[in-house]
Every structure is written in structure tokens, then in C-alpha cells.
Amino acid sequence: MRTDLDLQIDQLRTTVVAMGERTDAMLADALRALADADLNVADLVIEADVDVDRAYEQVQRGVLAVVALHGPVGRDLRLLTSLIHVSLHLERMGDYAAGVARTIKRAAEHPGDADLTEQLVEMGDLAREVARTALQAFLHDDVELANRVASLDDGVDRLNVGIFHRLVRLASQDEHRLAWATRMIQLTRQLERFADHGVDVAEQAVFVTTGDTVELSGRRA
């Protein structure tokens, strides 16, 4: 028979999953706003961040209540502490997705570059894959999958470097695109940080499953 502790942990996990799905949808919408130059969609992304913040606060309060009521130990305690960490990383990811949307709005008045925009969307899609894979690793106690997240993140980093150099060249060759390129450099940083927090979620998956604290950044599967 499942205990009250099990049920409460499951409820918290459900909230965290919903947070992950929400942040993924936010970034997907932000990338659509970028590709289509749709500022209305960008506004919706910014508004959605409030829901992620509320869910984060709900998880924090819920975990503290469960710990105080049940005094969990062992894997249960590891899982509860990881839920705090994961919810914090997801909250930050929501911030970065909203930041992408704000950057798109600020850059809207400046001429852009279709090829670079396509690459930025590609980088964003890969950042989403990092985050989705990490969350699946966390939900399914999959250490092997968690380790693969690092390789996905390496791809984000490589795109980040390549796009940065292209944006710098664009800005140096055409002063009319300097403002847009500067904004897009900021946007690549937001996408890169979104993916980095996904790696942090994968590290929590390893911790819950094995009890080991690991550093996955830069590790290739």
C-alpha cells in the first residue's frame, strides 16, 4: 500500500513535471515569435512566466511541509531535496525563455538576418532537447540518459560559438544591423543558459538514483 509520503511526493513530482512542460512550451513559443516576428506571441511567453514562478513557490512550500511532517530519510530525502533543486532550475529556465521573448521585442525595430535567425531557432530547439531529455532522466531514474544530456549541451555550446562569430561579423560589416546583432548575442546567451540549467536537472537525476554528486558539464557520453 502506498503511504501518505509516497502520495505527497508524487504530487510534488507532478507539479515539477508541469513546470518542465510549461518552460518547454514557453521557449517553443519564444522561438516561434523569433521566426515569425510575432510580438503578440512574445507577450504571451512573458506572461506565462508568472505561472512558473507560482509553481516554484508551491514546490518549495510542499517539500518543506513533507520533510517536517514525515522526516524522510535515504532515497526519499534525496528525491525531496532534488525536487527543490529541479524546481529552482526550471524557474530559472522560465526566466530565460521570458528573457528571449523580451529580447525579441527589443530587437523588433531593427533589421535582422534570415539565415542567422534560422540558426538561432536551431540552437533554441537543441536547448529544448537538452531540457526535455534531462527531465525524462530525472523522472525515470535514468543515469545513462542523464549522461547523454552533456553531449546534447555540447551541441548547444558549439552553435553558440558559431553564431556569436557570425553575429560579430555581421555587426562589423553593416552598421545598420549592429543593434540587432547585439540583441541576438544577448539572446544566444539566454538560450545557452536555458540549456545549462537542463544539465543541472540531469545532475539531480544522477544524485537521486545513485547518491553521487556529479558534474556533467563538458562531459561527452
Looking at residue 3, its pLDDT comes to 87
Helices 143-173 & 178-210, crossing angle to 10 degrees?
170
Domains and CATH numbers, the chain: 4-210 (1.20.58.220)
Q: Over 80: is that where the pLDDT of 220 sits?
A: no
pLDDT band at 213 (very low <50, low <70, confident <90, very high): confident
Q: If we measure between CA atoms, which residue out of 146, 130, 102 comes closest to residue 192?
A: 130
Query: Distance of alpha carbon 126 from its chain centroid, rounded?
Result: 11
Left (φ > 0), alpha (ψ -120 to 50) or beta: where does 211 sit? left
pLDDT band at 2 (very low <50, low <70, confident <90, very high): low
Looking at residue 1, its pLDDT comes to 43
Distance CA 125, CA 123 (A): 5
Residue 73 CB: number of other CB atoms within 10 A? 8
- pLDDT mean over 101-129: 96
